[in-house]
């Protein structure tokens, strides 16, 4: 993990959810960040549904401030919502990149699959990575690249990426895995925390008899990826 030594305040900013498990996970990651980077003033903010809202947090801050989107994809919330809330606040801050397809997050996903009973040596296994989906085709295409990265070093029959909120039903992606020779399936949620969407995916998995792993959750490697995005944002500011 690289240290973000020059940052005074890190505002970990999640989308927000009516499901309390989501905000609890965000706060747990903030706790990780405080422990591994005590020199930072770590705050938590949300775009909607939870408090405090990002627009309300920023005006009271001074010095170097980095808003770190606690998001996996560079979709609407990262490109529109967060910049809009920053502009409304009138604050001068740096916005870090989303977490994206960071190798450490893939490591966590592999760990979650192992915890669910999946073996990388299982040639009959098909893994269905389920993400939230976006109206931005580029964001979906970037997420789809997870399949090849996750499959490396395994003997699995295949890996497919499906979108829980996309136009293609998850059973279609599951059938593609069976067509590739998978005799049994496991779902790997590309989500930071449990919520209403993952509950719907879990209902589908239970009905279809498919094993489902846990989301990424409050793992130390997720916190490490956040710190790297913060450092990258600061480095870009210095370079400019």
DSSP E strand stretches across 51-177: 65-69, 94-95, 125-131, 158-163
For residue 6, pLDDT over 80 is answered with: no
Q: How confident is the model at residue 40 (pLDDT cuts 50, 70, 90)?
A: very high
Q: How confident is the model at residue 240 (pLDDT cuts 50, 70, 90)?
A: low
Proportion of the chain above pLDDT 90, given as a percent: 80
Burial of 20 (0-12, 13-18, 19+ CB in 10 A): exposed
The rounded mean pLDDT for the chain is 93
pLDDT at 181: 98
Tell me the two tokens of residue 116. 């669910």
d(CA 66, CA 56): 15
For residue 115, pLDDT over 70 is answered with: yes
Using the structure block, give the residue that is written with the tokens 């296994």: 125
pLDDT per residue as tens digits for the range 133-189: 888 888 888 899 999 999 999 999 999 999 999 778 899 999 999 999 999 999 999
CA distances from 80 to 15, 91, 125, 136, 225 (A): 12, 16, 38, 12, 22
Tell me the two tokens of residue 21. 């498990």
pTM for the model: 0.92
pLDDT per residue as tens digits for the range 51-107: 999 999 999 898 889 999 999 988 788 888 999 999 999 998 999 999 999 999 999
Q: Which domains does the chain have, with CATH numbers?
A: 9-100+219-239 (3.40.50.1400), 103-212 (3.40.50.1400)
For residue 108, pLDDT over 60 is answered with: yes
Task: Count the alpha carbons within 13 Å of 54 in the hemisphere toward its beta carbon.
Answer: 30
Cβ atoms 10, 66 nearer than 8 A: yes
């Amino acid at each position: 993990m690289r240290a973000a030594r020059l940052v005074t305040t890190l505002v970990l900013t999640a989308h927000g959810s009516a499901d309390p498990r989501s905000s609890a996970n965000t706060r747990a990651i903030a706790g990780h960040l405080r422990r591994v980077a005590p020199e930072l003033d770590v705050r938590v903010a949300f775009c909607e549904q939870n408090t405090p809202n990002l627009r309300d947090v920023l005006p009271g801050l001074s010095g170097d401030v980095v808003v770190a989107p606690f998001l996996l994809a560079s979709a609407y919330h990262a490109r529109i919502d967060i910049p809009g809330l920053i502009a409304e606040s009138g604050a001068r801050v740096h916005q870090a990149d989303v977490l994206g397809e960071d190798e450490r997050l893939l490591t966590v996903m592999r760990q979650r699959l192992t915890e669910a009973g999946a073996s990388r040596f299982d040639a009959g296994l098909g893994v269905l990575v389920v993400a939230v989906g976006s109206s931005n085709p580029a964001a979906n295409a970037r997420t789809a690249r997870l399949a090849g990265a996750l499959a490396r070093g395994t003997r699995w029959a295949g890996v497919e990426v499906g979108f829980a909120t996309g136009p293609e039903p998850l059973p279609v992606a599951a059938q593609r895995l069976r067509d590739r020779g998978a005799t049994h399936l496991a779902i790997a949620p590309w989500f930071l925390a449990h919520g209403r969407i993952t509950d719907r995916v879990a209902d589908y998995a239970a009905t279809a008899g498919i094993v489902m792993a846990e989301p990424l959750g409050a793992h130390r490697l997720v916190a490490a990826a956040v710190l790297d995005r913060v450092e990258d944002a600061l480095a870009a500011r210095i370079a400019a």
